[in-house]
């Protein structure tokens, strides 16, 4: 349904919010992941994904609609993306951050939830071209690329991290605008 709705449309100045709900087998998970990997250029995108889960505090594989490939595609195709839970590798998250750093769009913004293990692995990489900041016993972590004024901020919530990638100005104020969905 969604691919046909978006086909042959110019969505570069459009704000789209996708709310997807999955209960048992009523939702075609794989087809939805594939659709996300084929999205055209969109100005602002929000993906809300609700799956039946045993605990709201844990992220499990069957709840993660966003993987490395879909994250990288969405980062390359949007100016502003608010995504849901991701099962992305540390390398995928790093590549997405590098794409935000390289972007000429000063209001570029990406957010999603990531598993604790992947964020810890990301921050364990050596030979960084980024400044690393950790505070609150690792509950808040940040990578900063000063040359492009870009930040990756990860905040810990029980079993996962909320991740935000964005550009900032000389006073470290976020340049992305708050989007009202």
Would 163 be classed as within a structural domain? yes
Whole-model pTM?
Answer: 0.85
Would 109 be classed as within a structural domain? yes
pLDDT of 19-45, one tens digit each? 877 665 445 777 888 888 988 899 999
Would 178 be classed as within a structural domain? no
Half-sphere CA count of 168, side-chain side, radius 13 A:
17
Would 85 be classed as within a structural domain? yes
Would 112 be classed as within a structural domain? yes
Would 13 be classed as within a structural domain? yes
Would 106 be classed as within a structural domain? yes
Number of domains in the chain: 1
* pLDDT of 54 higher than 60: no
Q: How far apart are CA 167 and CA 161, in angstroms?
A: 19
Q: Which residue segment(s) compose the domain that 62 sits in?
A: 2-167
- State residue 26's pLDDT score: 47
* pLDDT of 17 higher than 50: yes
* pLDDT of 137 higher than 80: no
Would 179 be classed as within a structural domain? no
């Amino acid at each position: 349904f969604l691919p046909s709705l978006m086909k042959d449309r110019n969505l570069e100045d459009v704000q789209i919010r996708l709310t997807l709900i999955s209960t048992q087998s009523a939702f075609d998970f794989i087809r939805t992941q594939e659709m996300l990997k084929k999205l055209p250029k969109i100005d602002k995108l929000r993906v809300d994904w609700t799956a039946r889960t045993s605990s709201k505090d844990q992220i499990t594989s069957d709840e993660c609609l966003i993987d490395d490939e879909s994250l990288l595609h969405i980062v390359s195709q949007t100016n502003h993306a608010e995504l849901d839970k991701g099962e992305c590798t540390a390398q995928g998250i790093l590549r997405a951050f590098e794409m935000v750093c390289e972007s000429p769009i000063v209001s570029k913004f990406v957010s999603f939830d990531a598993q604790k293990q992947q964020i810890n692995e990301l921050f364990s990489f050596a030979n960084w071209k980024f400044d690393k900041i950790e505070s609150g016993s690792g509950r808040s972590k940040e990578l900063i690329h000063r040359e492009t004024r870009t930040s990756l901020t990860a905040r810990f919530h029980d079993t996962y991290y909320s991740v935000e990638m964005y550009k900032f100005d000389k006073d470290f104020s976020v340049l992305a605008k708050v989007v009202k969905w």
